[in-house]
């Protein structure tokens, strides 16, 4: 079969723009074990049996209801005899990758939610393939990894991409279109490039390449891409508000594509919910509130007594509309936070800093008060990065952020101005107060250690300070920033690790 490839320029762009994780060592071992078909059974058995934790995970999945209907499976060789080497290989790959690419929430990306949804998609794909009698040993792992491109882009682009995700959730714009407009590629293509680079079977990576648009898939992948497409929709309606309306649309699409009647499609939805809870436990993920459509309707029936199903449906959809409205409000709050915050430190970003400084200057002019500005950066920070590496440098920035945050008032605005440069807006603060604050800040930073590579790393800062007073109502934010920046520069020129106070009027005269 001819291998499907994407445009070489897109592949080059993806590799240039993103940092790809290396294949986990266990994935390499599993794939190497099955290279030779004749020895695959024994080699894979050796690899899996030699890892007790992985064996336990594989057997948990193999003993779940979607795979085992009868007696329990007690060892890897028994599992391979019943399900085949390919099936167990894929379960093992799924188990390893879901663990290795799982981390803590980073810059708004929820890893647990991502993998929870992926597992539900995998269960849905397996059940749909079974219902349609489309035998496909790769469908479970293909569905589990079909959105892995989202994870890769988020890890590389951070806050910038997570804003895009929230934008797609809160609007009717397709995520693929948003991605292509911004980056020139989409997460389907990223997933394909990652998994082909990891040497996963073409049947997996090529199906993933078309899973959101199966109509574009070649004939050889049309069936599997279609299964992934509907599994994604089923996972969506089990995970998100609006289940009643989504279930109705899902049933209509299943009937149009596969001729599945209402009873068959509702059974698929309920089976997916029931089996997902068990599979999420096998993957050590919180099942959350995955409920079947039938259970949701029963809840409505309890509240309405003996009213008919149509009224149950109305109540259910009213509840879902309220839940959806709450979710959209939460998304908008999170989106606003992401737009205003720096991804690494959590401080306000440059855009928000300038906006806030403009407001504080207007307020000070209106009420005849003062506002001070402190700019500072880390001395010889490039040397820290060159000596210890950028991850340690990032940790220094995070520790510095925590130290500053403990020193400021609720009304103060602390921002990452850019790179290793920071800004603090001090409302209602005159020059003398700003100098005291800046001096305390400098002393605090030089005593704040970062513990890394077996040692304590200390840094110092150079600081520039200026103040807007009631005598200078014509002062602009750019002139105030320029004055503080001159003070910072002077601190560096005079030997670093010091504070320089500059008056805006003095700067204009010199």
Write down the pLDDT at residue 234. 87
Do 105-340 and 350-509 share a fold? no
Half-sphere exposure at residue 441, Cβ-oriented, CA atoms within 13 angstroms: 30
**For 142-173, what is each residue's pLDDT tens digit?**
999 999 999 888 888 877 788 788 777 776 67
Place of tokens 């093992």: 92
- pTM of the entire predicted model: 0.61
252-311 pLDDT tens trace: 888 888 888 888 888 888 888 888 888 888 888 877 766 665 655 554 444 444 444 455
Q: Give the model's pLDDT for residue 509.
A: 43
Between strands 499-501 and 455-457, the pairing is unpaired
Q: Which ranges of 341-476 does DSSP label H, i.e. alpha helix?
A: 350-366, 381-388, 390-405, 431-446
- Asked if 426 and 412 count as a contact pair (C-beta separation under 8 A), the reply is yes
Residue 469: count other Cβ atoms within 10 Å of its Cβ.
Answer: 18
The closest of 173, 174, 166, 179 to 334, measured between CA atoms, is 166
How far apart are the C-alpha atoms of 423 and 376, rounded to whole Å? 7
Phi, psi (degrees; rounded to nearest 5) at 454: 75, 20
Per-residue pLDDT, 305: 46
pLDDT number for residue 301: 47
Element of type H or E holding 188:
helix 187-197
CATH architecture, range 105-340: Orthogonal Bundle (1.10)
Q: Is the Cβ–Cβ distance between 235 and 117 less than 8 Å?
A: yes
Count of positions (residues) in the chain: 510
- In whole angstroms, give the CA distance from residue 169 to residue 9: 29
Domain ranges of the chain: 23-100, 105-340, 350-509
* 189, burial (CB in 10 Å: exposed 0-12, middle 13-18, buried 19+): buried
The CA distance from 156 to 13, in Å, is 14
What's the CATH code, domain 350-509?
3.30.70.270
Sign of CA pseudo-dihedral 141, 147, 152, 154? negative
pLDDT < 70 stretches in the chain:
1-5, 65, 68-71, 103-108, 171-172, 240-245, 289-338, 470-474, 505-510
In angstroms, rounded to a whole number, what is the distance separating the alpha carbons of residues 405 and 396?
14
Query: CB–CB of 502/466 below 8 Å?
Result: yes
């Amino acid at each position: 079969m001819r291998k499907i490839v994407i445009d070489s320029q897109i592949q080059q762009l993806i590799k240039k723009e993103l940092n790809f994780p290396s294949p986990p060592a266990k994935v390499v071992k599993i794939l190497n074990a099955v290279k030779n078909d004749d020895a695959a059974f024994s080699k894979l058995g050796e690899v899996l049996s030699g890892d007790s934790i992985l064996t336990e995970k594989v057997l948990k999945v193999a003993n779940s209801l979607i795979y085992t209907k009868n007696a329990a499976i007690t060892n890897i060789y028994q599992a391979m005899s019943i399900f085949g080497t390919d099936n167990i290989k894929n379960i093992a790959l799924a188990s390893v990758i879901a663990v290795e690419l799982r981390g803590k929430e980073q810059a708004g990306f929820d890893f647990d939610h991502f993998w929870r949804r992926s597992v539900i998609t995998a269960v849905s794909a397996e059940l749909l393939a079974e219902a349609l009698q489309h035998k496909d040993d790769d469908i479970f792992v293909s569905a589990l990894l079909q959105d892995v491109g989202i994870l890769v882009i988020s890890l590389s682009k951070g806050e910038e991409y997570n804003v895009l995700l929230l934008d797609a959730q809160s609007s009717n714009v397709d995520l693929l279109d948003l991605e292509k407009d911004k980056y020139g590629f989409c997460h389907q293509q990223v997933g394909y490039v990652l998994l082909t680079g990891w040497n996963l079977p073409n049947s997996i990576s090529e199906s993933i390449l078309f899973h959101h648009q199966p109509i574009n898939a070649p004939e050889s992948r049309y069936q599997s891409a279609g299964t992934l497409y509907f599994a994604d929709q089923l996972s969506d309606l089990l995970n998100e508000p609006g289940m009643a309306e989504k279930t109705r649309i899902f049933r209509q699409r299943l009937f149009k594509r596969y001729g599945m009647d209402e009873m068959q499609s509702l059974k698929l939805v309920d089976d997916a919910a029931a089996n997902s809870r068990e599979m999420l436990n096998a993957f050590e993920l919180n099942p959350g509130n995955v409920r079947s459509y039938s259970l949701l309707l029963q809840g409505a029936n309890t509240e309405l007594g003996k009213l008919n199903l149509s009224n149950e449906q109305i109540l259910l959809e009213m509840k879902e509309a309220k839940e959806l409205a709450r979710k959209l409000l939460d998304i908008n709050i999170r989106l606003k936070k992401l737009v205003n915050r720096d991804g690494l430190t959590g401080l306000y970003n440059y855009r928000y800093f300038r906006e806030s400084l403009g407001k504080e200057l207007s307020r000070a002019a209106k009420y005849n008060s003062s506002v001070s500005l402190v700019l500072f950066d880390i001395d010889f920070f490039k040397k820290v990065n060159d000596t210890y590496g950028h991850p340690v440098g990032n940790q220094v920035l995070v520790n510095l952020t925590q130290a500053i945050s403990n020193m400021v008032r609720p009304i103060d605005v602390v921002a990452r101005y850019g790179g290793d440069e920071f800004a603090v807006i001090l409302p209602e603060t005159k020059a003398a107060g700003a100098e005291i604050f800046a001096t305390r800040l400098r002393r605090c930073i030089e005593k704040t250690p970062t513990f890394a590579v077996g040692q304590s790393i200390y840094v110092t800062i150079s600081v520039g300070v200026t103040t807007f007073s009631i005598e200078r109502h014509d002062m602009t934010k750019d002139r105030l920033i320029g004055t503080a920046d001159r003070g910072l520069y002077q601190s560096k020129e005079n030997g670093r690790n010091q504070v320089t106070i500059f008056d805006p009027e003095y700067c204009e005269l010199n």
